């Protein structure tokens, strides 16, 4: 079944539900949906430009393969990623962590990606019962490359949380 047969409003709701649920369940943070943009119809509508990423960003990318192929990328400005980790660890500073705080931050963000894409996969299995997930990849100061020409669905959603804007990029072949 092609991706476009999944109702667009269901994909929109799935993306919003996954982000809201994962932040609430992991760290009790309320995030609110702000905006969306369809990058298939509007290539100039990349919402990444709205994020405060001058100080850096983290992108967490997880793909799914099987009955359908796609990716989810969650983009957090550096400050928001650090606030997430501090809330998860219940610490006043990442310096309190033993060992490499950058490695701990990236591991934490990988777990965030696992949980979020697990929720997305659960929502897609009605249409695609055979899906497998890849291991999350955490990218620092860059994001995934997507060939929009090969996608039948690509939308971005912005949220507000951790005193910042966050973005999810959701695409399917």
Q: For residue 44, what pLDDT is reported?
A: 56
Q: What is the pLDDT of residue 1?
A: 41
- Of the two residues 52 and 140, the one the predictor is more confident about is 140
Lowest mean pLDDT among 44-48, 124-128, 162-166: 44-48
Of 133, 75, 132, nearest to 109 (Cα)? 75
pLDDT (average), residues 83-103: 79
The predicted pLDDT at position 3 comes to 45
Confidence (pLDDT) at 94: 72
Q: What is the pLDDT of residues 129-162, one digit of tens each?
A: 888 988 899 999 998 877 777 777 888 899 999 9
Domains of the chain by range and CATH? 3-172 (3.40.1550.10)
| pTM of structure | 0.85
- Which tops the pLDDT comparison, 103 or 95? 103
Strand-pairing partners, residue 59, are 75, 139
pLDDT at position 124, please? Answer: 84
Of the candidates 75, 97, 77, 76, the one whose C-alpha atom is nearest the C-alpha of residue 88 is 97
CA 55 – CA 60 distance, rounded (Å) = 17
Given this model, what pLDDT does residue 86 score?
A: 86
> Cα dihedral angle (154, 113, 58, 77), rounded to 10 degrees?
80
As given in the structure block, the two tokens for residue 109 are 């963000």
Average pLDDT, the chain: 83
């Amino acid at each position: 079944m092609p991706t476009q047969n999944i109702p667009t409003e269901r994909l929109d709701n799935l993306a919003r539900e996954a982000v809201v649920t994962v932040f609430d369940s992991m760290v009790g943070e309320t995030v609110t949906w702000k905006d969306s943009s369809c990058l298939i119809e509007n290539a100039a509508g990349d919402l990444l430009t709205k994020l405060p990423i001058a100080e850096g960003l983290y992108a967490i990318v997880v793909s799914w393969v099987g009955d359908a192929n796609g990716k989810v990328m969650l983009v957090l400005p550096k400050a928001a990623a650090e606030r997430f980790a501090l809330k998860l660890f219940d610490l006043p500073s990442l310096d309190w962590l033993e060992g490499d705080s950058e490695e701990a931050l990236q591991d934490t963000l990988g777990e965030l990606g696992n949980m979020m894409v697990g929720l997305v996969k659960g929502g897609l299995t009605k249409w695609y019962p055979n899906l497998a997930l890849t291991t999350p990849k955490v990218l620092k100061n860059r994001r995934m490359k997507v060939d929009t020409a090969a996608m039948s669905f690509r939308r971005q959603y912005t949220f507000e949380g951790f005193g910042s804007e966050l973005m999810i990029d959701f695409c399917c072949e």
